[in-house]
Structure 1
Amino acid sequence: MRKGVDVGGSFVKVLWEDGRTEKHDVRPVKNDRGAFLKTLREIILKGRPTGVGIAVAGFTSLDGTVYSSPNLRVLDGVNLKELLPELPLVVGNDVTLAAFGEWYYDHRDAKLLLFVAVGTGLGAGLTYEGRPFFGACGSALELGHHAVEKGGAPCRCGRRGCLEAYCSSYGLTRLYGEPVSDAEVIKRALSGEERALKAVEVFKDYLLTGLANAVHLFNPDRLVLGGGVIKGLKPLLNGLGDELKKRVESLPASCLKLAFTKAEEFAGARGALAWALERL
């Protein structure tokens, strides 16, 4: 039986072909490369899968090498196919595969589906006519790292002014201006605190800028939003689709539909499973 595995900086999430799920806390080993890779191997091999799809947050090549994972540095330079030579597996960026999962399970009527996830970071993925778009070497749709402010706020990738520096868990906290978690900022915004609501408005403005740029570049007919920050802010995002359409030209706006993911925290694992089902 095949399974999808989503490798994140705090948890490794698993979705089996029969619908079973697992969630493994890897925070105790996330800064120890040897311990992390040993734990990851054990999680992936558990249950003796016949094939595995692996989704990774970061710049992941088509040969299975994680070139850079800004939020999980212990994976930098690791080739996952070499780590697990005994298993048939496919590897890809987590949001690229999540986008394929959105099409595979929920949006098969979409010609060009763009999935944008805002959580620890900001990532995007694209599926065109039922095929995930990886780019020439696997790094397509790094929407979070396109610049929206020259010399702006620092991003975890090392550059400045990236969209992710404003639209992410740490970006929202920075916009709020106090050392509290993004969950606390969201909680305060939902309770009506003016300062938190102002931070959310700035966050939303940057998000709309990034989404409008992406719509003009790719002309999707389906835009799906997900990620933990989006989930938390959803009650405050009413009318986002209408606001987005006001920012884009009338032709791309005419075929655009906005949706929120149903997969929530297992979107990456679901996409990895879908790609494994397709390829293995």
Structure 2
Amino acid sequence: MTDLVLALDFGGTKIAAALVDSRGSVVRSARVPTPASDPWEAVVSLASSVVGDAEVAGVGIGSAGPLDAVAGTVSPINVPSWQAFPLRASVASLFPGVRVELAGDGVCMALGEHWRGAGRGSTHMVGLVVSTGVGGGLVLDGRPFGGRTGNAGHIGHIVVEPGGAPCTCGGRGCVETVASGPRMVTWARRAGWQAPDDADAALLAAAALAGEEIPLEAFDRAGQAVGMAIAGAAAVCDLDLAVIGGGVAQAGELLFEPVRRTLKTHAGLSYLAGLEVRAAELGGDAGLVGAAALVR
């Protein structure tokens, strides 16, 4: 009997697939950019190339959302051609008789870090991906928690600036409007940062590390927003850990210092005294490892 699980990680910018063994190790993987039009054929091709002639015990799928975990459908904000797309059933048709599980990509990131990364030993944690967006997922009592529809843990859409900038979700002032890489760059430009047209969060981080005032302030704003969101989620869910990954988090203490400073102010309840913040350890494999864990 094989111990291999096919893990799929579907997002608005990339699609990844991997074979993951029972220890949570990635045996073989590949990824491709998400096509601008209908990406289903890319999913089929990628899954086929990664599986090859191997036998799989199941398939775990992490997808950008919103999604409906009960119906098995996904409606990623950045993939307009997929609205209520039956992703779980479509993947199941490729692997008849094999168990197929679907969860949000934030849940899968959190679950992967919980199983094999920075979340080991935690029983109640939130995982965050701070990148081109701000995603998140919950592991409660050691198990992934998707809530009523599978969308629980969307920490990027906690409001931290009432009346703030419009968000892709339709709201205003969400964490994502302050802490996502593109929004940080936009804010820095408006504040007077002189940068090339193709400037991104990595260049903003380099400028901040060089001591430039506006980029430093951009990271401070982002860290405060993330810290406030963690404090709110921790108060509601009685969390002991927050694990933060993603491209913006690669800036290290530029982001983590204001996060921890903000928690000292906003996470004052006695039961949050032991709340920790850690950097993610699995990088781009976290979602794949977590997707495989859905089947485990």
Give TM-score scaled by structure 2 length: 0.84
Which string of whole-angstrom CA distances, capped at 9 and with x for unpartnered residues, describes residues 161-203 of structure 1? 2211111122212221265322221221122222211211122
Given residue 15 of structure 2, which amino acid in structure 1 is its aligned partner? V
Offset of residue 128 of structure 1: 1.4
Which residue among 58, 64, 67 is the counterpart of 1:60?
Answer: 67
Offset of residue 21 of structure 1: 4.1
Contact 1:13/1:21 (8 A) holds in 2: no
Who is 2:156 aligned against? 144
Q: In structure 2, what is the Cα distance between the partners aligned to 1:261 and 1:74? A: 32
Who is 1:92 aligned against? 103
Who is 2:194 aligned against? none
Between 264-273 and 10-19, report the one with greater CA deviation.
10-19
Q: In structure 2, what is the Cα distance between the partners aligned to 1:64 and 1:191? A: 47
Unaligned runs of 5+ in 1: none
Which residue among 2, 5, 19 is the counterpart of 2:5?
Answer: 2
| Counterpart secondary structure, 1:274 | helix
Given residue 2 of structure 1, which amino acid in structure 2 is its aligned partner? V
| Counterpart secondary structure, 2:60 | strand
Change (3 A) 1:245 1:219: farther
Offset of residue 208 of structure 1: 1.7
Change (3 A) 1:255 1:262: same
Contact 1:101/1:275 (8 A) holds in 2: no
Q: In structure 2, what is the Cα distance between the partners aligned to 1:13 and 1:54? A: 10
Which residue among 35, 39, 44 is the counterpart of 2:47?
Answer: 44
Offset of residue 135 of structure 1: 0.4
Offset of residue 108 of structure 1: 4.1
Question: Number of aligned pairs?
Answer: 271
After TM superposition, list the pairs within 5 Å mapping 1:19-168 onto structure 2: 19-27=26-34, 29=35, 31-33=36-38, 36-46=39-49, 47-48=51-52, 50=56, 51-62=58-69, 63-66=71-74, 68-84=75-91, 85-87=93-95, 88=98, 89-106=100-117, 107-168=119-180
Which string of whole-angstrom CA distances, capped at 9 and with x for unpartnered residues, describes residues 251-279 of structure 1? 13322122111111121111101112x1x
Say what the alpha-carbon RMSD is for the aligned residues: 2.0
Which string of whole-angstrom CA distances, capped at 9 and with x for unpartnered residues, describes residues 5-33 of structure 1? 11122222223224234332224x2x211
Q: Which stretches of structure 1, 4 residues or more, deviate above 4 A after TM superposition?
A: none
Which residue among 254, 266, 273 is the counterpart of 1:236?
Answer: 254
Q: In structure 2, what is the Cα distance between the partners aligned to 1:264 and 1:52? A: 21
Change (3 A) 1:65 1:252: same
Give TM-score scaled by structure 1 length: 0.89
Unaligned runs of 5+ in 2: 191-196
Offset of residue 121 of structure 1: 0.9
